Each structure stands twice: as structure tokens, then as C-alpha cells.
A and B are shown apart, each in its own frame.
Chain A
Amino acid sequence: MESPAHPHPAGSTVAADLTPQCVHCGLCLQACPTYIELGKEADSPRGRIYLMQARQRGRLPVAGSFAEHISACLDCRACESACPSGVPYGELVEQAREVVEQQLKRPFLVDALRRYVFGWVFPSPRILRIHFHLLRLYQRLGLQALVRGLAALKLIPARLAGMERLLPDLRGRAAPVELGAIFKSNGATRFRVGLVAGCVMNEIFAGIHHATIRVLQRNGCEIVVPSSQVCCAALHAHAGITATAQEMAKRNIQAFEQASVSAVIVNAAGCGAKLKEYGALLAHDPEFSSRARSFSQKVVDISEFLDGLPALSPPGRLELRVAYDDPCHLLHAQRIGQAPRRLLQQIPGLELLELQYPDQCCGSAGIYNITHPELSMRILERKVEDIKQCGPAAVATGNPGCLLQIGQGLRMADLSHIQVMHPLEILDRAYRSESFGNGRNPD
């Protein structure tokens, strides 16, 4: 614990030592999903920055309000897109979380579990795979039905039940992409690119990887999936577990350096945002700082990459009404909003619809739906309502967390007929529909 706050005389002023760029104007308030829900200054970007300043000056202890409001932040970074003064909020909140992580005492069991998950499971693709096998087994054996029954009877804690509910059906999913694999291009090779396999992505959404690979092959790319890559460590950095994040970053940099690729392609917005920030994450590491910077410069989101190609191989016809939803870490962290829309619009027959608030978080935000289930649900409900008003046949969004979250939201609202897809899955379908020639769904 920190030293207790010193008395603060009325009439004194705000410190300018930390976050000096924030001029306390409040223009970011309505960009912030937690402020919109709660209406509390301390759950707004401006308020959180004020708390960081106060903590810095010893006016506020870490435990209590500070830790609570910092952890209730989605890290969606919508405030960065709104802030005229360019406050680097994402960096600030990660710093603040690091402080919380270092100073907060958690109950022993919670702490042990966190250390196991963050320190052992995610950094190792092999251990992660074992866990997903166990989960699949759990679902196959019908244990899920049992647990859900117990949850309904309130025999297991609500938070655990919430976590369990989020678990997608893992049965019958596409097989993960093998690490170390190389995929040849269709026709002449124009680029040799690397694919980021990710952690959850490859276990739950391998289908998106396969779609990505097929579309890239179509467009003259040879794709390498470096074998020694690990999870991107976004979850770690968001949780303030910086040292582990740095170690994992180094392993990824080495893996992709060895693959000698011209671009590092990522199809999960959250991972992409983190990979692009490796330069900052390792800025003070003498051995890695410049390597991290040049690695980050090579990282491109798949939509950015395809949109930047001189000519995209023309997709086939696909009759589909699609609403595009901006993943926060694509729009706010990477400032990519138009590229995925342009890709979708190139598909003949596809009708691109606009949601009213495509730029608002869906409440997924990494593991936010697990740490703050109630608030996450309230934010999700707004998203679902927006989708309902818009009435598409499919929602396209390029991030695994958002795919799961929106999928769950639509199921709960009895809107399961609306598909939730990655834009690349749609593009891939359009390419494959050619051979069917009728513009119908080939699957």
C-alpha cells in the first residue's frame, strides 16, 4: 500500500506533472461508454486522468476508488479518437494498471489463478491448446448442461456462471492453423508475408485464419506462420502485467525476424493494436528497442493490407446485407475505419449498412466481460439494439472478442438469425461463390 494521502487545502490547484496534455475540457465524455452508462465523472476519461494525477501526487491511495475506476475502464480508447489535445490515454491507463498490479493485494486464490493464466497458459501455445482440448471435452461430455443447470439453481457463483456462458461452442470448429506451416500463393508470388496466429484466435476462430490465408493466396501472397510465435500479450499489457508482456513481445519479434517477411499480417484488431505498440513497449530495452520499432512498422491489419494492394483480385457475387461494426482497437487504436468497409463494398451484390453507433464499444474489451459482467452487459445491450434497428443479415467485425460478445448478445436477444462474421470470412465467401456462379452462400 502507498503512503496515505496528505491533506489537501481548499483552493489549491491541479498538478501538471503527469498527463500534462489533458486540459480537463471534457470533450471526451460522451465518447466514453462507461460514462454514458454511469454518468460518473470518475468513470470518464477526464475523471480517470484526474485520478491518475491525484495518485501521482500522493492525494489518493492505490487501493479503493483509484483501482476500481481504473479497472472499470474498457481500454477501448474511444477517448483518444475524441481528444483534441492528443492525450495518449491508452498508454496512461496501462501505466496506471501496472501500478495497481504491483501494489494491490488480491485474495490468494485469485492471485494464484491470475499468475497461472497470465504467466503460464497464454505465453505457451502448447499449454493453451491443452486447455482448449479440456474445454472441448467438457462440452462434449455434456458437463456444460450440468454446470448451466447448477448456475440456474444459483449453486455456483454468478461471475463464474457468466464466464461459462461466454464460452462458445467449441465442437466442430475448424482445426487450428499449424505453427510452422507455409502456404504457397496461387500463381506468381508477389509478397511473402507472415501471419500472426494469436492465442484464442487460433483455438476458437481458426476458420478466420483459413479464410485469411485463402484470400491472401488469391492475391499473390506466400504466407508463413512462424512456429516460435506466442500470444501477442495484449491481455497482459491491459492488465498491467508488463514484464511478462515484454518477454512475450521479444519472442514474437525474433520469430518474425527469422521468417524474413515483408509484412506481419494480423486479423485480430486487439492483437494488431498491441503488436503495433511493441516499439513503445520495448522503448527502453537496449537490445530490442530498434528491432521492436521496425517490427511494429511491418505489422498491418489484414484489411489495411488488402486495401493497400494496387489491385485486389475481384471477388465474386454475394447477396448479403452487412452492417459493419468497428472494433475499438482497429478504429480508435489503429485509426482504421474505411479499409474494411471498402473491402466489403467491392463485393458485387453486397449491401453495406451503417449502424447508428458503429464506433461504440460492444463491451467485450479483452476480458472486461469477465471482470465487469454487469456493465459489459449494459454496454452490449446498446450494441444489440443498434443492430436490431439496422436489421442486417450479418454483422461484420474484425476482432475475436467482439465476434464472441456480439454473437452472445444477439443470441440472448433472440436474434441468432443475424450472423456475426469477420470481414475476411465474407470476402472469402465471395471469392468462393464464383465457382457456384449463383451468388448464393456456398457453405
Chain B
Amino acid sequence: MTVATSQPGVPRTEIRKELVALLDSERVLHTPEELLVYECDGLTLHSRMPDFVVFPDTTEEVLQIVRLACRHGIPFLARGAGTSLSGGTIAAEGGIVLELSRMNRILEIDLENRMARVQPGVVNQHVTRAVEADEFYYAPDPSSQVASTIGGNVAENAGGPHTLKYGVTTNHVLELQAVFPDGEVYRLGTAAGDPVGFDLVGTFVGSEGTLGIATEVTVRLLHSAPAVKTLLAVYDSVSEATQTVSGIIARGIVPAALEMIDKNTIQAIEAGVYASGIPQDAAAVLLIEVDGLEAGIDRQLEEILEVIGSRQAREVRVAGSAAERKKLWAARKNAFGAYGRISPNYYTMDGVIPRSKLPEVLDRIESLGREYGLRMANVFHAGDGNLHPIILYDIAQDDAREKVMALAGAILRCCMDVGGTLSGEHGIGLEKREFMRLFFSEADLQVMERLKRVFNPDNLANPQKIFPMRRGCGEMSSLSEDSRDRLSRSEEDPEFVRF
């Protein structure tokens, strides 16, 4: 075992030489010009450049890089597609980013046992693409699935619209191969599924890269449902829409997906290439999908239509073809990406509330937005009560960042008041870490941190993520205050100083 020791002040040039010797110069980025684009991800509120970005191809190379980092006490983290909405890939203390985009091979497909073994850089949707001809698919479907990677999904325990019926990433990962900060490769879980002993897969999934780097992931494949029906219900009032959601859940129906999209979001989507004919003057729409056996699905659909009928929906459309269904989902899944149509920047929040409180909380959020003078939008997994309030802002405006974070805090407090919690679907990362205190006691946090230290004793794997900084409660920390340097980039490497 290689024991990591922190040795501040290792010269960058030395590290670079070692990295180039391990890989080759083409696979080691080190100039500020090349590193610049790695300073942030889907969250642009914070940024910090790493010292190196490297492109390993194999588990062995990941292992050697991690060993090197640990030997010198340099922080490291993995990056998939960089779609994290919580700043997960920001090198908060500099160091090495392992970009896994080239580790994108599907290593094994075993349809008989319904599983696939893939490298972490495989794009979520590519797993389904590889098996759909045989009528299989990979269930977790984050809206970013056209871009985000299985490794990133595992780290963030990603969910999606179909989580309602099929669960989140952790329910679909059977086995993991991972490099830990002690410089060794481990296998967690078994391909057969049932964990023997501790559920280390469950521990790793959702740990946001703070325990180590996943280098292979064995995922569960599901057989496509024989029948699927998708419908769109259009409302002139948000509360009629949320009452419909409560009504469906109260009847004990579990649709495959139950999504709500509000007016601002509809307008953003409909202005672009994913427009699917959703009426732009609607206050809200529900996108509902049921799946299963041909026989049962019609009854489910009828029941849902009954609930809708009891509320005031303006219009109900049942998708007539697979193409129409696809179009509606494309509209929904591109919602976050469409906010550029209506705002220069946006900040996505992630909270869960009891579904019965939906109407009340949505009202409250809207008035909070008005109070802080910021526009809001909403698109979320209504069936789970998993809210994604979106704060629309313009970073060019003074104090935008402070205002956004203050509003975000107020919204989360409002979720907490109704018995809700902070969802981890998008990760806690950098910017939600201070909110952890709202939902967890000091003791709860410490137990988690202790677990982290078992795997990551020197805090080299993705430092500063998830856990709040040790300081006054409720006080927002900004990255610039926290930043620590573990590398010396001095006279020996003048090019770096320029940035």
C-alpha cells in the first residue's frame, strides 16, 4: 500500500515530467490556455483551474496517476462530461483532473444475465443504444443522458423522470471497480447483485468522487416494457396541475414518470429546436407516462384520465406514435439546456418535499422569487416531489451571486419547514455544501465525514465537496476564500503565473 502524505510545495514542473512519463505529452494538459475550459462544469457560479488535466485510457493508468498524486500529496478528481450542476468537477484546491472521456468502451454485454460492464466514460444513452435492438435498456435517465457519463452518474447517484417507478442509479449498479486514494484497485459488490457483507456499492454511489475513482461499472439492464403510453395534460392554473399529481398518487397509481413543466420553462423550450407544440400560454403541463403489459396499461391510463377529468385541465393529449412520444420527452429533457433562451444564467436547485405540499410550496417559492427580485422557473419530477426550482439571473449584474445564494437558502428553508429534504440527485458538490447544515446535525455530518476519511484519509480525492466548511453556521463560503494551494507554481514554471 502506498501511503499518501501531504507535502505542500512540490514543484509543478516535476509533477508534469512524471505525468508525461506515465502517459505521453499529448495526454497531459498543463498550460493555462488549455486548462481554462476545465475551470467549471454545468455550474458556472464558481470556477478554479486545475494544475493538470490528464487523459487515462485504462484502469492501470488511472491507478498510476492516483499513486503519483498521493505520493506527492496532490489533490485529484475525475471528470466525465462535466455536466455536474453542483460544481463537482471544479478543482477546488487545484491538482490533477483525470478526464475519463476516452475511457468510453462497453466492455461486455450479457443479455442473458441482463447486465453490461462498461468503462466510466461511456455516455449514459450509449448503453441503451447498444442494447435497444434486443429490447433492453438502461433505466436511470437523467435529462443529461445524451452527454453525461456512467461514471458521473454513479458519483452523483443520478436520477431522472423514470426514477419514480424504476429507482435511481444506485438501484442499477451491480458491481464497481474503483481506484482508492490508498493507491489500490478494489472490486465492490458482485455482478450477481445481492451484496455480501457491507453494501460498499451503495456507499460509493453518490459519494461524488470523494472516495475514489470508478474505473469499471457493471450496470443492470432492463427489458423494455411491452407497452408504453404518454400523455400531456395542459393547465391554466398551477394548482390544478399539482392537485392532479396529488390525486394520482393518492389513488395508489405509480406511473413510470410524472413530470411537471411550468410556463417559463415551456416558453424556453418552445422557442427552440425541441419545440413540441406545448401551448405557450399554459400555466403548467404534466407529462405522464405509464408502461407495463398491454392489458394493464389501458386501465391505468383510464384511471389517470379520470383524475385529470376531475380537475380543470384545458386539454389532454395522448401521444399517438412512438415519434410523438419521443418528441415530448426530448422537449422535457432539454428543458435545463433551453433556459439560455430566456436568461443569461440559471441556477438549478434540488429539493424533495412531501407531494401533498406541492401547491403550497410552489406558491411560496414564487413569492420568494418576487421578494428577492429574481425570476423563477420550475421543471421537476412531480411524482417524487423532487423539485427543481430554477433561479434565472444575470451574472453581469452586481451582487447576482449573493442574491442567488440567499434566495436558494430561503427556498431550501421553506422545503425544510414542510418536512422536506435536500435531494442529492444533482449532487451537493461545492455550492450546496453549506446547506447541508440545514438538514443534518453536526453529529450526522461527522459520521459521514468519518466514513469518508476511512477511504480518503488525506482528503486528496475531490476535496471540499459535500461537507460544509468548518466555520460559522449558515455563513456562505466562496471558493476564493477556501482555496488552498498544494503545489508551488513559482519561477520554475513562469507560464502558469500569467493566468
* Residues in chain A within 8 A of chain B (CB atoms): 4-5, 7-17, 20-30, 35, 39-42, 47, 50-51, 54, 59-61, 64-66, 80-87
Query: Do A24 and B42 touch across chains, with their CB atoms under 8 A apart?
Result: yes
Complex Cα distance A42/B481, Å? 28
Q: In the complex, which residue of chain B has the Cβ closest to the Cβ of A12? A: B47
Q: List which B270-321 residues lie within 8 A (CB) of chain A.
A: 271-274
Residue B479 lies at the interface, judged by CB distance under 8 Å to chain A: yes
Q: Are A86 and B272 in contact (CB under 8 A)?
A: yes
The reply on B198 being an interface residue by CB < 8 A is no
Closest to B341 in A: A85
Kindly list 5 other residue pairs between chains A and B, CB separation below 8 angstroms, not including A23-B339, A85-B340. Answer: A11-B46, A11-B478, A11-B479, A14-B40, A86-B273
Contact B272 A13 (CB under 8 A): no
Tell me which of A9, A20, A27, A47 contacts B344 (CB under 8 A).
A20
Residue with the highest number of chain B CB atoms closer than 10 Å, among A12, A23, A40 = A23
Which of A16, A54, A60 has the most chain B CB within a 10 Å cutoff? A16
Task: Say yes or no: B269 contacts A24, CB within 8 Å.
Answer: no
Residues of B within 8 A of A29 (CB): 81, 147
**By DSSP majority rule, is chain B's interface helix, strand, loop, or mixed?**
loop
- Known contacts being A11-B480, A83-B273, is A27 close to B498, with CB within 8 Å? no
Q: Which of B36, B47, B104, B499 has the most CB of A within 10 A?
A: B36
Query: Do B499 and A8 have beta carbons less than 8 Å apart?
Result: yes
Q: Which A residue sits closest to B104, measured CB to CB?
A: A39
Q: Across the interface, which residues of A come within 8 angstroms of B125, CB to CB?
A: 30
Task: Establish whether residues B396 and A16, one from each chain, have CB atoms under 8 Å apart when the complex forms.
Answer: yes
User: Which of A5, A41, A80 meets B82, CB within 8 Å?
Assistant: A41
Neighbouring A residues of B64 by C-beta, 8 Å: none
- Pick the contact of A85 from B46, B272, B498 — CB < 8 Å? B272
What sequence of 0s and 1s flags, for each residue 65-76 of chain B, a beta carbon within 8 Å of any chain A beta carbon?
A: 000000000000
Bound-state CA distance A24–B481 (Å) is 25
Distance (Å) between the CB of A387 and the closest chain B CB? 19
A7 to B99, CA, bound (A): 25
Inter-chain contacts of B46 with A (CB < 8 A) = 11, 13
Closest A residue to B330 by CB, please name it.
Answer: A84
B239 contacts chain A at the CB level, 8 A cutoff: no
User: A50: which B residues are within 8 A, CB to CB?
Assistant: 36-37
Contact across chains for A30 and B123 when beta carbons are under 8 A apart: yes
- Tell me whether A85 and B33 are in contact (CB under 8 A): no
Question: How close is B477's CB to chain A, nearest CB, in angstroms?
Answer: 10
Q: Does B61 contact A (CB under 8 A)?
A: no
Write the nearest CB–CB distance from B132 to chain A, whole angstroms.
Answer: 12
Structural contact, B40 and A81, CB atoms closer than 8 A? no
Does B346 touch A at the CB level, under 8 Å? yes
Contacts of B336 in A (CB 8 A): 23, 25, 84
Residue pair A60, B498 in contact (C-beta under 8 Å): no
Cβ–Cβ contact A26 & B36, under 8 A: no
Complex: A65 Cα to B394 Cα, angstroms: 28
Q: List the B side residues contacting A15 at CB < 8 Å.
A: 395-396
Query: Across the interface, do B47 and A13 meet the contact criterion of CB distance under 8 Å?
Result: yes
Contact in complex: B45, A25 (CB < 8 Å)? no
- Asked whether, in the complex, the Cβ of B31 is within 8 Å of the Cβ of A16, the reply is no
Question: Which chain A residues border B341 with CB–CB below 8 Å?
Answer: 21, 84-86
Closest approach, in angstroms, between the C-beta of B339 and any C-beta of chain A? 6
> Taking the nearest CB of chain B, how far is it from the CB of A213, in angstroms?
34
Task: Indicate if the CB atoms of A23 and B345 lie closer than 8 Å.
Answer: yes
Q: Are B123 and A13 in contact (CB under 8 A)?
A: no
The answer to whether B483 and A11 touch across the interface, beta carbons within 8 angstroms, is: yes
List of B residues within 8 angstroms of A84 by Cβ: 268-269, 272-274, 334-338, 340-341
On chain A, the residues within 8 Å of B268 by CB distance are 84-85
Q: Pick the contact of A16: B55, B269, B394 (CB < 8 A).
A: B394
> Are B396 and A17 in touch, CB under 8 angstroms?
yes
- Decide yes or no whether B44 CB sits under 8 A from chain A: yes
Contact B123 A41 (CB under 8 A): no
A-B residue pairs, 6 tightest by C-beta: A85-B340, A11-B480, A39-B101, A65-B33, A84-B337, A84-B334
User: Which of B38, B147, B499 is in CB contact (< 8 Å) with A27?
Assistant: B147
Picked from A5, A13, A24, the residue with its CB within 8 Å of the CB of B498 is: A5
Shortest beta-carbon distance from A358 to chain B in Å: 15
B144: interface (CB < 8 Å): yes
Query: Is B34 positioned at the interface, with any CB of A under 8 Å from its CB?
Result: yes
Closest to A81 in B: B273
Shortest Cβ distance from residue A50 to the other chain B in the assembled complex, whole angstroms = 5
B11-59, CB < 8 A from A: 31, 33-34, 36-38, 40-42, 44-49, 55
B338: chain A residues at CB < 8 Å are 84-86
Let me know if A60 and B36 touch, CB within 8 A: yes
Bound CA–CA A433/B55 (angstroms): 55
B401 at the interface (CB under 8 A from A): yes
Q: A13-B395, A39-B55, A86-B340 are in contact. Are A26 and B147 (CB under 8 A)?
A: yes
Residues of B within 8 A of A25 (CB): 42, 83, 144, 336-337
User: In the complex the two chains form, what is the Cα distance from A25 to B31 in whole Å?
Assistant: 24
B134-149 Cβ-contact flags toward A at 8 Å (1 or 0): 0000000000101110
CA gap between A41 and B79 in the complex, in Å: 11
Which residues of A lie under 8 Å from residue B147 when comparing CB positions? 26-30
